[in-house]
Structures are given as structure tokens and as C-alpha cells.
Structure 1
Amino acid sequence: MALPKVLVLVLAGGKGSRLELLTEQRAKPSVPFAGVYRLIDFPLSNCEHSKIADVWVSVQYQPQSVNEHLANGRPWDLDRTTGGLMVLPPFQGSERGGFTEGTADGLWRQSQLVRQFAPDALVVVSADAVYKLDYRDVVDAHLGSGAEVTMVTTEVAADDASRYGIVEVGEGGKVTGYAYKPDEPATTTATNEVFVFSPGPTLDRLEALSDEAGEDGLEDLGDSLLPAQTRDGLARAYPLNGYWRDVGTIESYWRTHREFLDEDPPLDLDDPSWPVHTRGGRHSAARVLDDGQIENSLLSGGTRVSGNVRGSVLSPGVVVEPGATVVDSVLLPGVRVRSGATVTRAVLDDNVDIGAGASVGGDGDIALVGREARVADGTELAAGARYPEPEG
């Protein structure tokens, strides 16, 4: 029996403003994670291991940052003569041309291409979470359920639930209630931005909703599409019982890195049965020099450590000079921490230069320094600082 024809649409066009300075010059899916990876590596690796070869990536904001990383899709076995990876930029030439205004609007704009491809199941995913999931398992459950949409769900903390689409689940996994980012969540069961749709009925529904919305537009999937499917009794839940973390805020981005410093991390990124793949780097081995000291940290290729590093993640090319101290921090590619400087509970973006004797962060909220910023010698940036300060 032939496998169902599955199309995965990765929504990679959002600005990711909650990541603040980290997404000023890159799209959220291309934000580095755990030293050598990018956030988009997780859904693409899931596609590879799920044996799904037709993957479209919708880009918009800072698309070059995503395109440079994707190349031709080779790391995820998507460089194929037929099928494989296809990048969908904004376009002109039809009534559906223009810039996307939300995830549902983006799906509506690509609906003609989806209809032409004629998949049996359409998997729509975001690229801002860390997890492993066999999409084929979800597709198989969906196709046997009679649902129009299957929402993959996870449990979240009660004080964080209002950030997500929240569902109420009844007998047999039927979704009986759905609310998008509610002020007062009814449960702590959240959609984790992985949806399997029946393409024909879903796209027909989008057409009708678009006509009703008029100039207001369709916005996000959670604004009108998912509530309508739920009201009609055509939504099912598929619980993901394994690890899943949304890293769409600075706090969650930093905290998730901390989890991967544990002796037994929540995901084995090198698991032979399900490795997370990424575009290969061009860095030599990491080196600990002179009096360098490392404790409970992740070091990527090309790092040079002569100072003291504890509880931190160092991306490729990071340099920590003699007498410098880095504690509980995430340093992205090319960062240099000069002699005598101290970095504590901070995230430093690409090519940041922390001057000699400077102090960044401390006990309290996470400090954030934007790409290529130069923090002058002896400068003190307190806990929770943003440097340079955001405009407005």
C-alpha cells in the first residue's frame, strides 16, 4: 500500500519580535541554538526522519538569513530532482501576491500551489521550538480520524499558558474548545504549532473565511480557522508526550539552553536514530588555552577559552580572553570577551565585543547585547539591560 502523499509547510516568515535584538537582522528560524544549530533545523530534521521529502519553507522577514542556511536542503536529504525543498518568498502577479499578514493569511496566499500539489495531508509547522516528532505518526492518526485538523498538543506551565492557543479535549481526543492566547486559559493544554490539515476542506474553509474577513484579513491560524474547525466538531488533539520548548522569548531562549547543560539533557541531539542535522560549519576544534577553565558548558568548534567559563553555551568562533569570566550565558558566533570582563546571565548576539574590564548582566533578568555591538572597556551593563537600547 502506497504511503499517503504528505506536504510539510514550514512557516518561517515571522519577525519574531519577542526575541528582541536577536531578530533585528535575522529571521527567527535562523536564530542559533545550542552552539551549532538553528531553530529551523528541528522541523527539517523531523521531516527527514519522518521520511517526508516534500517540504516548502515560506519566508518573508530577513529571508536571506534563512536562505543562506537552507542552501539546497542537503543536510536534511531534501536536495532532490523531484520534490525536496522549495522556498516560497512573497510574490506579485495575482490577487494573492504581497506580504503575508499572519499564518492563516500565508496559507491562503499559497493555497493555489497546495491544491496543484494535491497532498493527502498538509502539515503546517512553525520554526521556533525545540522538539523531536515523527510527523508521519500524526498524519496516520489524522487520516483515520475523520477530522479536518489535528492539533499536536503539549502541557505548559499555568503562568505561561496565555502565550499559546489553548484547547479543551474531550472523549476520543476531540477538541471541544479552542482559545487563541486567552487572558484566562481554561486549561494548560496548548497547541505546539504543529497542525495536520485535510487540504481540500481546510482550503475551502479558508476561502469562505477570507470573504467574511474582507479587508481585515485572515491573520493567524488561531484567529478564525482553528476556532471554526473546533466549533464544527472537526478538530482532534494529538498529545506530544516528549520534550517540547517554545523559545520565542529571551527568557525561554536562555532557560532552554540551561536545560541542555544537564548531565542528562532532555534531548540527545546526536541520537543515532534521530540526530538533528544542520548546515556544516567551517571551524577547527575548540581549544582551552593557558589557564582556561570550563565547567558544565557546551563548546562549539573554533572557540578559544583562556578565561573561566561556567554553565554557558559558546557558539563557533567565540573567544574568552585570559582573566575574563562567563557565567550562565549564551554567546552566539564570533563573540569576544576581553581580559578582565565579566558576563553573567546574558545572551550576546553575533560578533559582540565586550571590552576589557567591562561587566554585563548579573543576578536577575537576562541581559541582551545586540549583534556586532561594542561594549567599551570598563562599561557596566546591569541585569536585564538591553544594549544598544531598542529604539522607541
Structure 2
Amino acid sequence: MINDKVISIILGGGQGSRLYPLTESRSKPAVPIAGKYRLVDIPISNCINSDIKRMFVLTQFNSASLNQHIKNTYNFSFFSSGFVDVLAAEQTPNNKTWFQGTADAVRQSMHHLMSHNFDYVLILSGDQLYKMDFNDMLEKHIKSKASISIATLPVAAKEATSFGILKTNDENVITSFIEKPDASVLPEWSSDVSDEMKAQNRNYLASMGIYIFNRELLIELMKNPDTIDFGNEIIPQSINKVKVLSYQFEGYWTDIGNIDSFFEANIGLTDDIPQFDLYDRDNSVYTRARILPTSKISGTRLEKAVIAEGCIINAESITKSVIGIRSRIGDESVISNTYMMGSDYYQTLDEIENDTIVAKGIGKRCHISYAILDKNCSIGNNVIIKGGKHLKDEETDNYLIKDGIVVIKKNAVIPNGFQLG
């Protein structure tokens, strides 16, 4: 099987500053999404669904929770060669620095790869939301005898300036590439796309940061320590030197690079027919199997709400919101356009009823909207948090406001009667 000749590398990214404060105490791939998953579950699940079961996850910041999640989740059979290993940046006699970029991260990890047999390396990002059959991309890579393949996505002009944009010939071979072009030069970079994409004015092919490299070429490229990034250096420098193929993808894909895109991706899961389908039985999203009770909901009006396991909810209403595992929401509270990540553990009944402390979860008679509540938050009674564009960017010990979205920090305690917005 061709899958046995592939190793996947999932790039965990750097410090994840654009997703701060969600990355204050965890690496970007470990950020919880959709109430019960982690970002890293997406590329790993895509690999498993494509029958690619040898994966390295490269990271260097706050990797403890990521290590724990992967250890508790992805255990293949003793009779399988499959594995998901976290490779954190490490000092060796040959490498005495942190990862300097995407290519440098792979370069510093090559000695781990070289202990395995493989013909192709699939390089993925750890902060994207999508579903893709990598087998189809791999088959076209091999059939065309390409040296490198790049997954590409048709985008509109307003998005194109944020991506690496490329052009291809009639055989989908990439002939030119420009990183984050100015809007003034975009007309020169339009490509031939499907009629469906044309109808949406998505006329520019953007790199998705998903690559296939032939083994020997990658080994050769990694010998040059001066090239530290795939998108800015290796890909542009390889075009017209080796055969670089475009694999055009037209499904749902979003780069979860900042608080706004993270919020929209999660709230989008509450749509009647979400663009990212968690209910596709042929392409499951895998995560840690937890032994949690069913959620208990009393007297609550639910409208486009996603509720994870183990919740105890007595709210008045929950609208267009994602409620994560072990969440507790008190009487008469109104929650809308909110992503509540939930809790890592339950408190005892005595702790919840103790008037001298603020219990985990959301208390009674609260109104919360346009907010992200990180893990283990304690929101008191009669709290009002109303995010929106009327709020200025701000940070305190307990919360951050970014682009109108209020992010309550992990383990934060918000006292009774607090008002924001």
C-alpha cells in the first residue's frame, strides 16, 4: 500500500501569539475546539481517515498538555507500525536553537524521520480546520511524477493578499509564486478555477500550507541551514527547478490563526448544516475517549446549540453557542454566540453550594454573548458580559478583549455582579 510509504509531519507552530490568551499555558495544537476536541485532532484524523498512521507532531512551546492529550488518545495496536509522536524542540550537538521556521523545524527533526522507511513526507499545519483525502493528493503526486505537491485553495481577492498565491500551467504544474501580494498586482495572478469557484469570485489559487515532498529531495533541501521556511523560501526557490504540482481543493478550509477566526469557526458549528461536518460517519474526527455521563438539561430553551458530554445546565436559554465538556450553567442565565470550553474536572456539591467561593461554570442570572470562556472558568451570579465591536481592545488579569470578542482566561474567577459591555 502506498500509505505505508508516507510519514506525516504536523507543524505545531510557534508561540501562537495571535491566539493568546488561549495559548498562554498550552501550545496551539492543544487549544480545545468544538467543545470536546483539540486542534491537533483535525490533521491527525485526516491522516487516520487516509490510512496514514505514522505521524510526528512538532512543537516547542507549552507542550505538556499536548503530550498528555496525544498519549491518552492515539494508541495504535501492538501489531501496527502506527504512531503519533510529539517532537519538541531540543538542543543537540548540531542544533542549539529553537525552531526558526517551518523548514527549520523539519530540519532539526530529520534524525527522527530517518530511522523510518518512507518515500514521501506529508507536511501539515496544526491549526487548520478542514477534511481532506490525502490519498487522492498522493496518487496525483505520484502519477504526475512531481517532486513537490502543494494543496491549493481558490480564494477571493480580499483574502488573496494574506496568502501565498500561485499560477499553474494546463497540467497543474506551478509556474510562479508570490507571497502575500499587494492588491494592485492581483489581476495578473488570477487562475483557471471551476465554474462554482468563479461564481463565488474565488479566482486566485492560495497555498494551504499542505505539502508532499519526495524523500530524496527533502533530504537534499534540508542540508541548507539558511532556508528556514517552506512558504517564504523553499517553495518559491523550488519552482522551475523541480516539478511542483498544485492539488486544487474546493472543500471547507479555514486557518485558525487568530481569536476572530477561532471564534467564527466554533460558532459556525451551530449552523443547521455546518460547513465543517462533525457528523460525517465516513470521515470521523477522533479525540480522547472520556468516560463522562450524559448531559442533563432542565428548563432551558436551546436554539442552534452544541452541547458536549457531562454538562449540567439549568439556563433560561442557549442560542448559537458551543458548550464544552463538564460545563455547569445556573438558573435563568442567557447564553448566546458564546464558546464555553468547559472544565477538566467536577467540583463537589458542597463546593458548588459554598457561598464564599465562585463555583466552576456560569452562575445564576448571567447574560453572556460574543465571548470565549476558556477551561475551568468560574463566573459568579448576576454577571453580564456582552462582547461586540463597541468594546475596545483591552487586557486584564481575568480577560482579554480582541476585535469585540471577550476571552475569559483559563481558571479565571469573575465575581458576582461583574458587568462588561
- Counterpart of 1:127? 126
Aligned residue for 1:109, secondary structure, equals helix
Aligned counterpart in structure 2 of residue 317 of structure 1, from 309, 326, 341: 326
Aligned residue for 1:62, secondary structure, equals coil
1-side partners of 2:417 and 2:88: how far apart? Answer: 45
- Counterpart of 2:35? 35
- Counterpart of 2:234? 225
2-side partners of 1:101 and 1:13: how far apart? Answer: 10
Deviation, structure 1 residue 271:
2.0
- The question of 1:282 aligning with 2:321 is answered no
| Contact 1:32–1:39 (8 Å) recurs in 2 | yes
1-side partners of 2:325 and 2:319: how far apart? Answer: 17
Aligned residue for 1:360, secondary structure, equals strand
| Contact 1:73–1:85 (8 Å) recurs in 2 | no
- Paired letter, 2:36: V
- Counterpart of 2:44? 44
- Counterpart of 1:263? 272
| Contact 2:74–2:84 (8 Å) recurs in 1 | no
Deviation, structure 1 residue 57:
1.5
- Counterpart of 1:146? 145
Deviation, structure 1 residue 168:
2.2
- Counterpart of 2:341? 332
2-side partners of 1:275 and 1:161: how far apart? Answer: 30
Deviation, structure 1 residue 72:
5.8
Equivalences for residues 84-163 of structure 1 within 5 A = 84-163=83-162
Deviation, structure 1 residue 179:
2.5
- Counterpart of 2:307? 299
Aligned residue for 1:329, secondary structure, equals strand
Change (3 A) 1:2 1:274: closer
2-side partners of 1:158 and 1:255: how far apart? Answer: 20
| Contact 1:174–1:233 (8 Å) recurs in 2 | no
Deviation, structure 1 residue 203:
2.6
1-side partners of 2:77 and 2:156: how far apart? Answer: 36
2-side partners of 1:136 and 1:224: how far apart? Answer: 27
Aligned residue for 2:20, secondary structure, equals helix
Show structure 1 runs of 5+ residues with no match. 383-392
Change (3 A) 1:11 1:120: same
Deviation, structure 1 residue 318:
1.3
Deviation, structure 1 residue 304:
1.7
Show structure 2 runs of 5+ residues with no match. 191-203, 344-359, 390-403
1-side partners of 2:10 and 2:2: how far apart? Answer: 24
- Counterpart of 1:373? 412
Aligned residue for 1:9, secondary structure, equals strand
| Contact 2:6–2:122 (8 Å) recurs in 1 | yes
1-side partners of 2:147 and 2:131: how far apart? Answer: 24
2-side partners of 1:374 and 1:183: how far apart? Answer: 44
Deviation, structure 1 residue 79:
6.4
2-side partners of 1:79 and 1:100: how far apart? Answer: 32
- Counterpart of 1:20? 20
Deviation, structure 1 residue 3:
5.6
| Contact 2:53–2:82 (8 Å) recurs in 1 | yes
1-side partners of 2:241 and 2:419: how far apart? Answer: 57
- Counterpart of 1:346? 371
2-side partners of 1:40 and 1:376: how far apart? Answer: 33
Deviates more, 1:146-155 or 1:361-370: 361-370
- Paired letter, 1:9: I
**1:295-346 Cα distance to aligned partner (Å, 9 max, x none):** 1100011112211211100000111111211111101122612112211111
Deviation, structure 1 residue 2:
6.3
Change (3 A) 1:240 1:78: farther
Deviates more, 1:192-201 or 1:86-95: 86-95
2-side partners of 1:167 and 1:46: how far apart? Answer: 25
- Counterpart of 2:217? 201
2-side partners of 1:176 and 1:78: how far apart? Answer: 44
TM-score (normalised: structure 1): 0.88
Aligned residue for 1:311, secondary structure, equals strand
- Paired letter, 1:7: I
1-side partners of 2:72 and 2:93: how far apart? Answer: 27
- Paired letter, 2:300: G
| Contact 2:329–2:363 (8 Å) recurs in 1 | yes
State the identity %: 27
1-side partners of 2:319 and 2:121: how far apart? Answer: 44
